[in-house]
Amino acid sequence: MSIIVQKYGGTSMANSDCVKNVAEKVVRSKRGGHDVVVVVSAPAGMTDHLVNRAKEITDKPSGRELDMILATGEQISISLLAMAIKALGEEAISFTSAQVGIFTDENHNKAKIETIDTTKIIKALTEGKVVIIAGFQGVTKDLEITTLGRGGSDTSAVAIGVALKADEVEIYTDVDGIYTADPRVVPNAHKIHRITFDEMLEMAGSGAKVLHLRSVELAAKNHMPIHLRSSFNDEMGTYVMDEEENMEQALVRGVAHTTNNAKITIANIENKPQNIATIFKTISDANVNVDVITQNVVDQNRITISFTVAEEEYDRALRLSNDLGKQLHAEAVYGTEDVAKVCIIGVGMKTTPGVASRLFQCLADQGVHIEMVSTSDINITCVVSKVDYAKAVLAIHQAFEL
């Protein structure tokens, strides 16, 4: 029998009717001839509620104790779903991560999965049971409870799929696939039926938050197909998979954007390699993630460095940059939160010239000023003013006939 791993998110487990809907989907898959393993998230809003409860006690709960309380949310989901499946006449059994043996490192609140013991899962499957596993969590070798961070249930599902050598991982959510752009910005955006791992990684990193980045990385590394689907209908969603020849026919697969960005500039410092190394080591040591970086040459001896960070890290990054500016004798240090990223992604860009000029002309026609640019083989990212992002996304979607 083929093994399918299904993951259902918080909105799919939000209330009793939702849980019953999930149970019906799982039972249909089971009766369709598959061995089914289900990974579930806590009910919608539960994790935030538990975090808030902890912060009512202390502003700085310890990572260990926070994991202890956060891990309880998924236990509600697995037990309710097991009951619902049994009520439909199929055998089911629920497991916490500790009961199964999902072992992680010791990094509380953002742990990484190291190994999975599949013994109990396989035994239950051979007994004809649907296996339901709590996502988002694991245990250390000393059986300390850990959690994987936001979106961790996607990562749990893919890791379990890899460990079981499953046929595919189906991730059910409140959207029915990946779209050529955010439908809230581009009303005529359409669903992409197949997308490569590389394209999905770029889209996930560029603002398309439908799939968690770590889960896509894990799936890509192990060639595990992901089928992103809606919890509320049975239509085909989007397959995330290895590249196929016919995929290169698509020049641009989609447009992604983010608006939670900030830009910092350290102006007119001495053009020495060590200065650049010092800037980004200082930022990195503070655990601030830098995204787009540009270097502008002022003259033969002076340069200006600009970079973007997430909006929530702006204040900290700006304080560090001000200190760096004094240390490096910068002419000025300044920043803004009034920026957005707009990105085009597509494997066809690797072999097609002229994509960048077409993009820049499109934005120029709309009067959109480009503040920064970064590129890869399959991605061109433009940093623009936040007030222009919607206009830019709409124009690009139309210009590339998506």
Residue 198 covered by a domain: no
The CATH number covering residue 51 comes to: 3.40.1160.10
Give the CB-side neighbour count of residue 128, counting CA atoms within 13 A.
Answer: 5
Give the CB-side neighbour count of residue 296, counting CA atoms within 13 A.
Answer: 12
Residue 382 covered by a domain: yes
Confidence (pLDDT) at 249:
60
Q: What is the mean pLDDT of residues 294-313?
A: 92
Window from 214-228, 236-250, 276-290 with minimum mean pLDDT: 236-250
Confidence (pLDDT) at 250:
67
* Residue 255, number of CB atoms within 10 A of its CB: 31
In sequence order, the β-bridge partners of residue 138 are: 146
Structural domains counted in the chain:
2
* Short-list 264, 258, 303, CA closest to 282: 264
| Angle CA 220–224–226, to nearest 5 | 95
Confidence (pLDDT) at 247:
54
The answer on 26 and 159 residing in a single domain is yes
| Angle CA 319–274–313, to nearest 5 | 25
The answer on 262 and 144 residing in a single domain is no
Last residue within a domain, chosen from 143, 174, 205: 174
The answer on 169 and 57 residing in a single domain is yes
The CATH number covering residue 317 comes to: 3.30.2130.10
Say if residue 1's pLDDT is above 70: no
> What residue type is 265 in one-letter code?
T
Q: Rounded to whole angstroms, how far apart are CA atoms 202 and 379?
A: 7
Confidence (pLDDT) at 387:
95
Say what percent of the chain tops pLDDT 70: 98
Residue 214 covered by a domain: no
What are the pLDDT digits (tens) for 19-47?
Answer: 999 999 999 999 999 999 999 999 999 99
The owner of tokens 């954007």 is 257
The answer on 157 and 259 residing in a single domain is no
Mean pLDDT of the chain: 92
The answer on 286 and 160 residing in a single domain is no
Q: What is the mean pLDDT of residues 110-130?
A: 96
Say what percent of the chain tops pLDDT 90: 82
The answer on 26 and 156 residing in a single domain is yes
Say if residue 183's pLDDT is above 80: yes
The answer on 264 and 154 residing in a single domain is no
Last residue within a domain, chosen from 135, 155, 174: 174
Q: How far is CA 174 from CA 38, 366, 400, in A?
A: 17, 33, 28
Say if residue 169's pLDDT is above 80: yes
The answer on 26 and 158 residing in a single domain is yes
Q: What is the mean pLDDT of residues 362-371?
A: 94
Residue 138 covered by a domain: yes
The answer on 358 and 262 residing in a single domain is yes
Last residue within a domain, chosen from 108, 139, 174: 174
Say if residue 244's pLDDT is above 90: no
The answer on 155 and 23 residing in a single domain is yes
Q: What is the pTM of this model?
A: 0.85
What are the pLDDT digits (tens) for 63-89?
Answer: 999 999 999 999 999 999 999 999 999
Q: Are 262 and 309 in contact (CB under 8 A)?
A: yes
Window from 148-157, 204-213, 274-283 with minimum mean pLDDT: 204-213
Confidence (pLDDT) at 140:
96
The answer on 166 and 267 residing in a single domain is no
Residue 58 covered by a domain: yes
Confidence (pLDDT) at 212:
84
Residue 227 covered by a domain: no
The answer on 162 and 259 residing in a single domain is no
Q: Are 198 and 247 in contact (CB under 8 A)?
A: no
What are the pLDDT digits (tens) for 200-215?
Answer: 988 887 776 778 888 9
Confidence (pLDDT) at 243:
79
Domain of 166? Answer: 2-174
Q: What is the mean pLDDT of residues 182-194?
A: 91
Confidence (pLDDT) at 233:
85
Residue 375 covered by a domain: yes
How deeply is 332 buried, as exposed, middle or buried, from its count of CB atoms within 10 A (0-12, 13-18, 19+)?
exposed
Q: What is the mean pLDDT of residues 39-68?
A: 94
What are the pLDDT digits (tens) for 154-168?
Answer: 999 999 999 999 999
Say if residue 246's pLDDT is above 60: no
